[in-house]
Amino acid sequence: MLLTPAELAASAVLHPEIESFIAANPLPPAASSDHTAIRNGLRMLESRLLSSLDPRASDVTEFYQPINMRDGYVNTVKITKPATSVAGPLFVLGHAGGFVGGSSEQLTSEARALARLFGATTVSVAYRLAPEHTFPTPQLDVWDCCKWISDHATESTLNADPAQGFILGGVSVGGSMAAALSRKFQDEPLSHALTGQWLCVASLMDDNCVPSQFKDVFLAREQSRDAPLLNKSSLEALQRWSQWDATSDLRYAINSKSDISLQPRTYLQVGAMDPYRDDTLVYDELLREAGVETKIDFYSGCPHLHWMVMPQLEISKKTKIDTLVGLGWLLGKSVSREHIAGVL
């Protein structure tokens, strides 16, 4: 999905509902000199998100599973699945947090909804965080989790059937890692093939590696330099803490040499005031040009993670429902927005 420079500029005007919310509830600065401020802020955000959910019903099972990483570290993932013994599709999801914060609790609402809507098992992966653990430790942790999940998919712990759908995805850097690893798994296949990927406000390239034919529409970093929630200064801080290698195919999917036409069907979401806006629009265009089936939801005037930070807004509620519609699309399933709203 490509927009002209004029269309991009017009879309990067703050959504009226979000503008009103911020005027009444000033947000903290997007950039911070202290990574612990971001980590603590995400911890508080996740706590609020969890406290807003209805108590877990008996139709959903949740538990934690230790997984050994390649260097001997014992990671812990969160598994959410239907209480029934019937096997369903499998989702592996990574959380947002700029590599410095976030946890496997973050996508609990989506995981429970997937269990109820599609009978799916969801594994919310965790990964070690910067600056204590720099690039590529988070990517390798998610890689090792994916391998374990694929190898054990049909066993009782997960009780999944990847033939019904095996989706890798995530939000922000979670989506970034999903995109990069989806390309990696073409050359180093998992025991079950991925059937889809969800790239939500994902970081997929930067100014130095965007394909030359798209440089004239790769404008979001500058247009969103002062955007709320995530902007140019905060991106620079995240890079400093994580020490990622921008030339690596583990950091940016665009750096992969694998055949993009072999990627699974892809669902993408992004807001127009997100520094990662054009990552998403360009990558969607590349996938489409290669013959990969894609679906994209684009939110004019919306900053990074608007639905998490401002969940009470109508545009945020729409985004949450869009997400479940899109994840159903990845499975080839259709479900009404009204039904999704009731489940959420």
pLDDT digits 0-9 by tens, 216-263:
999 999 998 899 999 988 999 999 999 999 999 999 999 999 999 999
Q: Around Cβ 225, how many Cβ atoms within 10 Å?
A: 12
Structure tokens belonging to residue 189: 């296949």
Does a cis peptide bond (omega within 30 degrees of 0) precede residue 136?
yes
pLDDT for the residue 30: 67
Read off the pLDDT of residues 284-299 as tens digits, 9 standing for 90 and up: 999 999 999 999 999 9
Domain count, the chain: 1
**Which H or E run includes 227?**
none
pLDDT for the residue 38: 86
Write the CATH number for 81: 3.40.50.1820
Read off the pLDDT of residues 117-174 as tens digits, 9 standing for 90 and up: 999 999 999 999 999 999 999 999 999 999 999 999 999 999 999 999 999 999 999 9
Which residue range forms the structural domain that includes residue 42? 5-343
Q: Which residues pair with 61 in a beta bridge?
A: 81
pLDDT for the residue 257: 97
pLDDT for the residue 67: 98
Check whether 210 has a pLDDT greater than 90: yes
Asked if residues 90 and 169 have their Cβ atoms less than 8 Å apart, the reply is: no
Check whether 31 has a pLDDT greater than 90: no
Mean pLDDT of 272-287: 97
What own/partner pairs with CB < 8 Å and gap ≥ 24 does 5-11 have?
5/216, 5/217, 5/219, 8/217, 8/219, 8/220, 8/223, 8/272, 8/277, 8/278, 9/219, 9/223, 11/272, 11/298, 11/300, 11/301
